Chains A and B, each alone.
Chain A
Amino acid sequence: MATEPASRSEAINTERGDMAVPAPVLTMGGIGKQFPGVKALDGVDLRLLPGEVHALMGENGAGKSTLIKVLTGVYPADAGTIELGGAPVAFGSPLEAQQAGISTVYQEVNLCTNLSVAENIFIGREPRRFGRIDWKRMRARAKKLLSRLELSLDVSAPLSTYSLAIQQMVAIARAIDVEARVLILDEPTSSLDAGEVEQLFRVMRRLKEEGIAILFVSHFLDQIYEISDRMTILRNGTLVGEYLTRELSQVQLVAKMIGQELAALERLHGEAKVFDRPLIEARELGRTGAIEPFSMTIHEGEVVGLAGLLGSGRTEIARLLFGADHAGSGEIVVSGSVTSLRTPRAAMGHKIAFCSENRKADGLIPDLTVRENIILALQATRGWTRPVPREQQDELVGKYIKALKISPPNPEHLVRNLSGGNQQKVLLARWLILEPRLLILDEPTRGIDVGAKTEIQRLVAELSDGGMAVLFISAELEEVLRLSHKVGVLRDRRLVAELPNDDSLTTDVLMETIASGASQMNASEASNVDASGGRAS
């Protein structure tokens, strides 16, 4: 049962205070689920009220996913009851759950992008006439359905012509068409930019007004606070409690998720340091269609943050500095001499390392083991004829598994079976064994849980104290502020400002700069940095 029954009843009490609680659409009670060797869920309760957005919170491995899978019939529950509209139910498959009115939209949009929007919405249950598909009716119904979400699309165009956000909405449209009473959104926002998230939230609010109960899972705390009314927190497969969002502060939430009080979000770099040894300098470096020419200097031991919206050119800067893409203009100066970084290999020769944003596509080799993934870059620098001796491999890998607390600590485990946070650590370890002078981290903390996130942040601070330069890219402004010595702000593929991270710099200032381009004050500040940097070197 609830580990903190007190706070739970307290939350319910407050409700009684302001209004009557409508009968829940869905109630799960005492849910237990055992996997070989793991108790994934133990006595978890969850109730969803009509017309509410309910956030399901917890670290990776807390049991969110399992709970959703039990609810939608992917796994049978070992213990507990599920009631839908007051009647007990047990679904044998996601299809049964959907027919009963519980629809799920997963993070990866599982639609066929080569089919039309209308086909995607009605796939498998196309309206028929004389045994043939009634295309006209299908398109009309699709249009109507989308207008319910305030979307006006060409429903006969292939889905691939629309952005990821729109595709997500189409998935939602598909889900709510079957008279949904409960809509489950599992990390729908992780690949959306701010504008798209706003669009999604508008749709969610609309569905909420229609009385649908929405279960929402997200790693972004800000989004949880913006959209959700109520939340249920899980930890290690057990229930922590149910709370009203407005009554729980972010710090309290995080504390409950990780089960301990989080150290205040202080800046990891206390005292101001002087950076006088430039390591890498980009001079009017640019690439058509990717990033406007920009200039930037990164010094030894300096953490430079990049802030900006998704697609504003953050990753493009990283890729140019690593030689992953060819620069169309400008030059790169490494340790005082002009070099051309035409391939990642060339950049690695200058001791530059790059942890890419998309761990799956551009980072790890899922079928190789943890050990192989970690030594891959080192092996690549040696070529295939000079293998890293096995002893040395074991020593290096063991050292980093320990230092980064990679779990499970088995070097022969396949990387595909690791959780996101641990995969990220494996990728980090791959580059750390090369002892880079510049470490480029593109969204290293995205999609990983709070604990692993803090560890990675701490590691970055340590590395830079040891003299390593770090280029740190993150969508979370607080994180950028917390770690960086200076912050480059990007907007529409242009580096619009470079701000020193002193006490005057806040997330508000950053957001304003991102939103408006460099304001007058910020621009002057930026030029000051350049000036002081020039003087020091």
Chain B
Amino acid sequence: MRRLLWPVVVLVLLLALNVFFTPSFFSIEVKDGHLYGSLIDILRFGAPLILVSLGMTLVIATGGIDLSVGSVVAISGALACLQISQDTSVFTAVVSALVLCVVLGAWNGFLVAAVGIQPIIATLILMVAGRGLAQLITGGQIITINSPAYKVIGGGYWLTVPFGILIVIAVLAITAFLTRRLALGMLLESVGGNAEASRLAGIRARGIVIMVYAFAALCAGVAGLMISSNVSSADGNNAGLWIELDAILAVVIGGTSLSGGRFSLSGTVLGALIIQTLTTTIYSIGVPPETTLLFKALVVTAVCLIQSPSFRAKAFGRRGRTAPPSPAPEEKVRVTA
């Protein structure tokens, strides 16, 4: 697809840069029945971000935004670890953590769709309060656990493939099925593209919006389990810190407009991979730690600029692929108002 061209180009460039500095970057090997390699690491460590970004994509498609996903990540890990540390079964711990996340997400959706609070404010509430809730659950401590079964979620392997990658693939497949095979995607894009027109077309936007926020929180919850499982501990303060910003960035890099409407799941996955590859690159090419954030900011700025058709037209002149000025005969604007 044409609109995925630039994210792909950026990702390829980043990978090429890595190969330049680390010639063995693309090598993948099987050790002890596990896949190893830099590319696998990018996928594995990028898995939580991809999950959060997928949920965020649907929220943004409705014209909303969810700032609370980082806090939900922390809450989910905290609740699961707390229960496991109290000898609850891993299954119960995981399910109850995810159920809590869905409830919190539905609360966000309720505030947005039923009460009518602006999404950025409605989710800001849980962003701040959620951190408090996570710390309440952990009692302000870092809960450390020792549960091989729980460890599988973020650190395990199945058929040589890291378990986290499999979870991402499953969630991506489910999301793609719901949105593109069923009609959820079209109705989402409709609500995000023009809410009033959607209402007049008979779409029950309220239920859809609540469901989407719940889904975003569920994705964040799974990501939270992954993160805490990987380190076998729960940190209410720092788990998932600022992940909402990376997720929003991933969605935007993937070509979904923040104003809602059209969204692209594959674009979002690419966007998240770009961010994760960038992080890896920073380590592998040896950018001094104190300039890491600045370096990241510069690359992200460049990525955003190169994605903008109007910037490309300016910077590269005629080579920029801009649409020709609207073919004149239609007096679109004039006629429709």
B208 touches A38 (CB 8 A): no
- Render A391-435 as a binary contact track against B, CB cut-off 8 A, 1 for contact: 000000000000000000000000011111101000000100000
Determine whether A66 belongs to the interface, using a CB cutoff of 8 Å to chain B: yes
- Render B319-337 as a binary contact track against A, CB cut-off 8 A, 1 for contact: 0000011111111111111
A108 touches B337 (CB 8 A): yes
- Render B296-337 as a binary contact track against A, CB cut-off 8 A, 1 for contact: 000000000000000000000000000011111111111111
- Render A331-373 as a binary contact track against B, CB cut-off 8 A, 1 for contact: 0000000000000110010000010101111111111100010
CA distance A237 to B325 in the complex (A): 17
A387 touches B196 (CB 8 A): no
CA distance A366 to B336 in the complex (A): 11
Residues of B within 8 A of A387 (CB): 181-183
B197 touches A421 (CB 8 A): no
A40 touches B199 (CB 8 A): no
Residues of B within 8 A of A363 (CB): 197, 200
Determine whether B132 belongs to the interface, using a CB cutoff of 8 Å to chain A: no
Determine whether A382 belongs to the interface, using a CB cutoff of 8 Å to chain B: yes
- Render B194-213 as a binary contact track against A, CB cut-off 8 A, 1 for contact: 10111111111000100000
Residue of B nearest to A41 (CB): B328
Residue of B nearest to A431 (CB): B201
Residues of B within 8 A of A191 (CB): 337
CA distance A349 to B199 in the complex (A): 14
B332 touches A380 (CB 8 A): no
Residues of A within 8 A of B335 (CB): 60, 419-421, 447-448
From residue 174 to 195 of chain A, which have CB atoms closer than 8 A to chain B? Answer: 186-187, 190-191
- With known contacts A379-B187, A384-B183, A362–B197 Cβ distance under 8 A: yes
CA distance A356 to B325 in the complex (A): 30
User: Number of residues in A with C-beta < 8 Å to the partner?
Assistant: 64
Residues of B within 8 A of A101 (CB): none
Determine whether B246 belongs to the interface, using a CB cutoff of 8 Å to chain A: no
Residues of A within 8 A of B200 (CB): 322, 324, 344, 354, 356, 362-363
Determine whether B37 belongs to the interface, using a CB cutoff of 8 Å to chain A: no
CA distance A365 to B259 in the complex (A): 13
From residue 451 to 504 of chain A, which have CB atoms closer than 8 A to chain B? Answer: none
B201 touches A64 (CB 8 A): no
Residue of B nearest to A191 (CB): B337
Determine whether B261 belongs to the interface, using a CB cutoff of 8 Å to chain A: yes
Residue of A nearest to B325 (CB): A75
Residues of A within 8 A of B187 (CB): 379-380, 384
- With known contacts A75-B328, A187-B334, A365-B190, A386–B183 Cβ distance under 8 A: yes
The segment from A29-37, A153-161, A254-262 that touches chain B is A29-37
Determine whether B17 belongs to the interface, using a CB cutoff of 8 Å to chain A: no
CA distance A423 to B187 in the complex (A): 19
CA distance A383 to B199 in the complex (A): 13
Shortest beta-carbon distance from B176 to chain A in Å: 13
- Render A58-97 as a binary contact track against B, CB cut-off 8 A, 1 for contact: 0011111110010000010000000000000000000000
CA distance A15 to B204 in the complex (A): 63
Of the candidates A61, A75, A376, the one whose C-beta lies within 8 Å of that of B203 is A376
Residues of A within 8 A of B262 (CB): 367-368
Determine whether B189 belongs to the interface, using a CB cutoff of 8 Å to chain A: yes
A37 touches B332 (CB 8 A): no
Name A residues whose Cβ lies closer than 8 Å to a Cβ of B. Answer: 33, 35-38, 40, 60-66, 69, 75, 106-108, 186-187, 190-191, 237, 322, 324, 344-345, 348, 354, 356, 358-368, 372, 376-377, 379-388, 416-421, 423, 430, 447-448
Pairs across A and B, CB under 8 Å, 30 listed: A33-B328, A35-B327, A38-B328, A40-B327, A61-B330, A61-B331, A64-B331, A65-B334, A107-B333, A191-B337, A324-B200, A344-B199, A345-B204, A354-B200, A356-B200, A363-B200, A366-B194, A367-B193, A368-B262, A372-B186, A380-B187, A380-B198, A380-B201, A382-B183, A384-B183, A386-B182, A418-B330, A419-B330, A420-B331, A448-B335
12 A-B pairs besides A35-B324, A367-B261, A418-B332 with CB distance below 8 A are A40-B327, A61-B331, A106-B334, A344-B200, A344-B202, A361-B197, A363-B200, A364-B194, A368-B193, A372-B186, A372-B190, A419-B331
Name B residues whose Cβ lies closer than 8 Å to a Cβ of A. Answer: 181-184, 186-187, 189-190, 193-194, 196-204, 208, 261-262, 324-337
